[in-house]
């Protein structure tokens, strides 16, 4: 597994490349002043989802104005 350490100031200019690294099974550690801030990994990384499973609050419900329906996003008033 490839690991890249990238300064937060460089992330914006390299984001596409960093996403490729993560999607291919690598990981990207985003740092500021040599201190880790965040980790970018593949969305299909089972270890990441086992450690931090999606919370129910991350998904909208039918009562919310932006809830998903079969035709797309519902209109809201």
pLDDT of residue 51: 64
Residue 59 in domain: no
E-only strand ranges, the chain: 3-7, 27-32, 35-40, 68-69, 72-73
Q: What are the two backbone dihedrals, phi and then psi, of residue 36, each rounded to the nearest 5 degrees?
A: -65, 135
Q: What is the band of 47 on the pLDDT scale with cuts at 50, 70, 90? A: confident
pLDDT of residue 52: 61
- The string of pLDDT tens digits covering residues 18-41 is 999 999 989 999 999 999 999 998
Name the residue range of residue 17's domain.
Answer: 1-46
Residue 74 in domain: no
Residues 18, 40: contact at Cβ < 8 Å? yes
- Could you tell me the pTM of the whole model? 0.59
Query: Residue 28 and residue 30: Cα distance in Å, rounded?
Result: 6
> Into how many domains does the chain fold?
1
Residue 13 in domain: yes
């Amino acid at each position: 597994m490839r690991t890249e350490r990238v300064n937060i100031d460089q992330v914006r200019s390299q984001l596409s490349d960093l996403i490729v690294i993560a999607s291919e099974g690598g990981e990207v550690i985003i740092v500021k002043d040599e201190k880790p801030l965040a980790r970018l990994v593949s969305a299909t990384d089972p270890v990441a989802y086992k450690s931090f499973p999606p919370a129910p609050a991350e998904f909208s419900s039918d009562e919310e104005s932006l809830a998903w329906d079969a035709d797309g996003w519902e209109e809201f008033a």
